Amino acid sequence: MIDLHTHTFFSDGELVPAELVRRASVAGYKAMAITDHADQSNLEWLLSKLVDVVDEIGAANNMQVLAGVELTHVPPQTIAQATSLARYHGAEIVVVHGETIVEPVMEGTNRAAIEAGVDILSHPGLISAEDVKLAAEKGVCLEVTTRKGHSLTNGHVVQLALQYGAKLVIDNDAHGPADLVSAEMSHKIALGAGLNEEQIAQARKNSEQLVAKAKG
């Protein structure tokens, strides 16, 4: 399995990076991204803590580990700038905290993230058809999440993604050990969201391609 959306105690997660990676490895994961919550105030600091250690931690656990950020509650008009800044400071993957229905994310965040060309728009809530079409055109992956609350709109995201050809990935949004769901549970959640076996396999492949691109 691959999980490209996780958090450590550098934001609101429970574990140091080394323990998060170790627990993911033991749980059967083969690759992951550490994407703590960030905005322009802390992204340089976050990435400075990760860029030089993720390869070492990953190798010790026979995993590929990416250094990234999840731009969170960043005003839409500055998402493009924050994305560029994150990549400049070494982010191998950029995730944006989408317009989930369980948090007061600013309207326009989904569109701004897609226009900025981020890698993954996480839990995009009741995303519009127009934004899904744009995500398909720009190759931005939309997230199917196993995390409670955010997962309530998985079905909506999947339905539109399949209709308009947008790429999907399946992530945990892990904040602690209990969030590193098993392959079986992740599969069941994807089925419940409306994906069939072939579509689940493609979503897994999309994650593999993001890892390959980052580590290429």
Is 143 in a helix, a strand, or coil?
strand
The pLDDT score that the predictor gives to residue 159 is 98
Average pLDDT in the 11-29 region?
Answer: 97
* CB contact at 8 A, 85 and 128: no
Region of residue 123 (phi > 0: left; psi between -120 and 50: alpha; otherwise: beta): left
Q: Assign residue 130 the CATH number of its domain.
A: 3.20.20.140
User: What is the per-residue pLDDT across 67-95, written as a single tens digit (0 to 9) for each?
Assistant: 999 999 999 999 999 999 999 999 999 99
What percent of the chain is modeled with pLDDT above 90? Answer: 99
Rg (CA), the chain: 16
**CA distance readout (Å), 151 to 85, 106, 143, 148:** 29, 19, 10, 5
* 142 in Cβ contact with 124 (< 8 Å): yes
Domain that holds residue 89: 2-215
**Would you say residue 101 has pLDDT above 90?**
yes
Say how many C-beta atoms besides its own lie within 10 A of residue 104's C-beta: 8
Average pLDDT over residues 93-112: 98
Average pLDDT, the chain: 97
pLDDT above 70 as % of the chain: 100
If we measure between CA atoms, which residue out of 91, 86, 94, 34 comes closest to residue 58?
34
How many other C-beta atoms can be found within 10 angstroms of the C-beta atom of residue 214? 18
pLDDT tens for 39-68 read: 999 999 999 999 999 999 999 999 999 999
Q: Please report the DSSP string for 55-114 in residue order.
A: HHHHHHTT-EEEEEEEE-S--GGGHHHHHHHHHHTT-SEEEEE---TTS-PPTTHHHHHH
Average pLDDT for 163-181: 97
| Model pLDDT, residue 203 | 98
The structure tokens listed for 34 are 């550490």
pLDDT classification of 216: cutoffs 50, 70, 90:
confident
Residue written as token pair 């999840």 = 70
Q: What is the pLDDT averaged over residues 153-160?
A: 98
Domain count, the chain: 1
pTM here is: 0.98
